[in-house]
Structure formats: C-alpha cells, structure tokens
C-alpha cells in the first residue's frame, strides 16, 4: 500500500524548501524528500546566501534577478525577522576595465546606491544564514530525509510512484545538478563546483563585499567574529559526485589559500582561523536562465508532430507535457535570490493558473534542442 500525498518534492535545497513552503499555504499534503540528513545541504550549504543586485545593462536576465531580489528580500524578512541580516553590499571592480564597465552601468542601476572609493554600495544588499532559515521553516511541511530516490514511474491514472512506496498526484523535481531521474536530452545542466569557507577573525566587518569573491559581514561567535568567504568555481569532466568531491578534497588547501588571498584583497582580516569548509555544485543551465514549470515530453511531441524534428514551426501548442511533473532547476550562483521567486511562480501556476514567465519555461530548451537535431542530420 502506497503512502499518498498531493505533492511530493524531490530535493531539499533552497528551491525545494521554498516550493514546499509556498505549497503548504494551500495544501497540508506536501512531502519534501532528500537523500541527505538535513535541509539545505550540498550546494545550498556551500553558498554564502548573499542577496545582492546584478549589475549591467537592461536585459531579460537582469530583470528576472531584480524582480527576484525584491521578492526574496521581503520573503526572508517575513520568515527570519530579527535574524535577517540587512548590512548592505559593496560591489568592488576587479580592475580598471571592470571599473569602466561599472561606470557604464550607473545609468542602468535598479536600486539605490552610493559611490564610494572602493566601488558601489547598495543598501539592499543582505544575506541569510541557511541554518537559521531551515530551522524557522522546517515545521511548515512534512519531510523525509536520508531518503534516496531510485525509482520513478507513472500508473495508468498518471500518478507518480516513488520507490514503490510513495504516490503523488504531482511530482516536483528540485534536484539541482543531478537530473538523472528524468531522461530528456534537451534538459542540460552544467554543474559548477564551489567551495566556501567560514573563518574566525579578530576583525569586525560591517558589510558584505563582492569582488572576485564574496566576503560576508561578521557576526559574533565564540568571542570572535565569524565571516563567510566564497566561492571558487570548478568544472570537472568526472560524472560522479564522489569523483568531483575527491578532486576538490585534493585541492582544498589550495582553494582555501586562494579564497583568503582574494578576501584580503578586499578587506584586511586579522588573526584568521578556518573553522568550516563546504563544497557543492551549483546547477547552471546552458543559457544561464533557470527552468521552471512543466517538462516537455520530447518523444511524445515528436511522435505526434514529426515536423518538429526539422526545427521549423515549433510552436508551444505542439509541445506535449509530461503529466503532473514539474521542475525548478538551473538557478546557478544566485539560488538564494532566485528560488523564493521561482517557487512562488510555480505554486501560483499550479494553484491559480497564473502564467509563468516565458523566459524561464523549459519550452525554450526543447526548441533549441530540436533545431540542433536538424543541423546535425543535414
């Protein structure tokens, strides 16, 4: 006999946790599962959880980040209250070329700022502590941790069965760089592995900084000041997490030294002691935009509309969706900014039929993939 839920979410990173939270406002039959023993592990634990503006000229991605930042700031403030850390962020140019770019961007800055001798200070810049956020939100929905999904299948009523134990009307995948549960060739993720360190220092730092790395404001911990520094960027050809983590372990000290040097280039931190090192893989899509909503069933779509394989007249009405299957993925290095906004968008689509921003639907990925098939078969 299966244990039944209206909604099962696979993956308890920041995207999955936010999705479970928003769903819990509509349904008491929500289960969030994860292979790890706690919420916000792996990439979410290795993130600095910085909330800061994206600089640049106007474009759809910048608009998405700006809208997400406004939404997420309000969301975290509501959940965390006094534990929300609004300390501002100073964006520091890396070099003279970068400085010229920043000056060009001034006309396009969406948030109030102050020009300083170091760079540009944005008061909206904030951060959260993932552990605090997980603690505040964990009782809003049911969880099943230390639970690895090895089997997904659908019955004749299009219900999703997980491991022959759980059954749900709606399955939502927020699995980050691990996309092995669903086989779709158009669904591509480029994992970027990062390392973050927490250090104790005798120095006090009042604001967040971002240059070639990010340095957090300090908080009191064991009579010293705790500062988070992150993150490195590594792409590996190895396919398994175990292999990638082994490679990162081999260069851990080198990465620690690199992060400390980059941090010291921003602010002088004295009497440094590293107390924690976290690694995780950010899930980046091929075009940097996240992917949210229903998944296209490529096999069913092409079988019904063979002309799609030519890459012409690929319209949304010809795209057949996988029934009762949804996704949030590809949030990259801005997971804590994007995830609340994306999760709310998906839940509003599910509950209130509110359309999701076209730029983040999986449709775009399928359309590009079909056109490449055409080119490859010429």
pLDDT tens track of the chain, all 378 residues? 899 999 999 999 999 999 999 999 999 999 999 999 999 998 999 988 999 999 999 999 999 999 999 999 999 999 999 999 999 999 999 999 999 999 999 999 999 999 998 999 999 999 999 999 999 999 999 999 999 999 999 999 999 999 999 999 999 999 999 999 999 999 999 999 999 999 999 999 999 999 999 999 999 998 999 999 998 899 988 778 889 999 999 999 999 999 999 999 999 999 999 999 999 999 999 999 999 999 999 999 999 999 888 777 889 999 999 999 999 999 999 999 999 999 999 999 999 999 999 999 999 999 999 988 864 553
Q: Is the separation of the CB atoms in 29 and 120 below 8 Å?
A: no
- Would you state the pLDDT for residue 378? 38
- Would you state the pLDDT for residue 372? 82
Which SS3 state, helix, strand or coil, does residue 283 take?
Answer: strand
Within-domain flag for 104: no
367 and 320 inside one domain = yes
Within-domain flag for 368: yes
230 and 304 inside one domain = no
Within-domain flag for 110: no
45 and 135 inside one domain = yes
Question: Can you tell me which residue has the tokens 């992150």?
Answer: 230
Question: CATH number for the domain including 154?
Answer: 3.50.50.60
29 and 164 inside one domain = yes
Boundary (domain end) residue, out of 232, 257, 279:
279
Within-domain flag for 228: yes
- Would you state the pLDDT for residue 373? 80
265 and 204 inside one domain = yes
- Would you state the pLDDT for residue 292? 98
Q: Is the separation of the CB atoms in 199 and 226 below 8 Å?
A: yes
34 and 136 inside one domain = yes
- Would you state the pLDDT for residue 357? 95
- Residue closest to 45 by CA, chosen among 8, 13, 83, 87: 13
- Would you state the pLDDT for residue 222? 87
Within-domain flag for 109: no
Which SS3 state, helix, strand or coil, does residue 194 take?
Answer: strand
- Would you state the pLDDT for residue 166? 98
- 2: containing domain: 1-49+129-188+286-378
Looking at the structure of the chain, the number of domains it has is 2
How do 50-51 and 208-210 pair as beta strands?
Answer: unpaired
ω before 231 within 30° of 0 (cis)? yes
356 and 221 inside one domain = no
31 and 170 inside one domain = yes
Neighbours of 225 (CB within 10 A): 20
From residue 230, how far is each of 43, 158, 202, 221, 254 by CA, in Å?
12, 43, 19, 19, 14
Within-domain flag for 115: no
Q: Is the separation of the CB atoms in 292 and 345 below 8 Å?
A: yes
42 and 136 inside one domain = yes
Boundary (domain end) residue, out of 252, 279, 306:
279
Q: Is the separation of the CB atoms in 278 and 285 below 8 Å?
A: no
Boundary (domain end) residue, out of 279, 306, 325:
279
Within-domain flag for 111: no
From residue 349, how far is each of 22, 169, 285, 290 by CA, in Å?
12, 15, 22, 16
- Residue closest to 137 by CA, chosen among 261, 38, 275, 215: 38
pTM: predicted TM-score of the whole model, two decimal places: 0.95
Mention every residue, 6+ apart, whose C-beta is less than 8 A from residue 302.
308, 309, 370
272 and 214 inside one domain = yes
Within-domain flag for 359: yes
181 and 199 inside one domain = no
Q: How far apart are the first and last CA of the chain?
A: 51
- Would you state the pLDDT for residue 151? 94
- Would you state the pLDDT for residue 289? 97
182 and 33 inside one domain = yes
């Amino acid at each position: 006999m299966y244990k039944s839920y209206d909604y099962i979410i696979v993956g308890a990173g920041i995207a999955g946790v936010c999705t479970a939270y928003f769903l819990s406002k509509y349904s008491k039959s929500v289960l969030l599962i994860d292979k790890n023993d706690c919420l916000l592990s792996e990439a979410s634990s290795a993130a600095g959880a910085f909330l800061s503006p994206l600089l640049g000229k106007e474009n759809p991605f910048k608009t998405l980040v700006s809208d997400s930042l406004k939404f997420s700031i309000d969301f975290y403030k509501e959940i965390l209250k006094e534990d929300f850390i609004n300390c501002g962020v100073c964006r520091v140019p890396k070099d003279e070329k970068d400085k010229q770019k920043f000056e060009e961007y001034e006309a396009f800055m969406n948030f109030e700022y102050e020009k300083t001798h170091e760079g540009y200070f944005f008061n909206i810049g904030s951060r959260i502590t993932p552990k605090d956020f997980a603690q505040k939100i964990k009782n809003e929905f049911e969880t099943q941790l230390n639970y690895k999904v090895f089997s997904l299948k659908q019955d004749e009523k299009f219900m999703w069965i997980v491991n022959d134990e759980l059954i749900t009307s709606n399955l939502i995948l927020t699995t980050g760089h691990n996309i092995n549960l669903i086989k779709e060739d158009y669904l591509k993720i480029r994992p970027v592995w990062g390392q973050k360190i927490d250090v104790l220092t005798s120095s006090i730092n009042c604001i967040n900084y971002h240059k070639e790395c990010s340095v957090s404001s300090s908080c009191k911990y064991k009579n010293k000041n705790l500062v988070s520094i992150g993150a490195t960027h590594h792409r590996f050809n190895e396919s398994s997490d175990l292999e990638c983590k082994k490679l990162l372990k081999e260069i851990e000290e080198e990465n620690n030294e690199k992060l400390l040097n980059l941090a010291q280039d921003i602010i002088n931190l004295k009497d440094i002691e590293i107390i924690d090192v976290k690694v995780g893989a950010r899930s980046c899509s091929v075009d940097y935009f996240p992917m949210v909503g229903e998944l296209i069933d490529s096999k069913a779509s092409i079988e019904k509309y063979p002309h799609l394989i030519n890459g012409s007249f690929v319209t949304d009405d010809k795209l057949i969706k996988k029934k009762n299957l949804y996704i949030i993925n590809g949030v990259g290095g801005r997971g804590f900014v994007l995830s609340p906004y994306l999760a709310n968008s998906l839940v509003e689509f599910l509950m209130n039929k509110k359309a999701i921003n076209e730029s983040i639907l999986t449709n775009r990925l399928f359309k590009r993939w079909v056109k490449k098939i055409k080119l490859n078969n010429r």
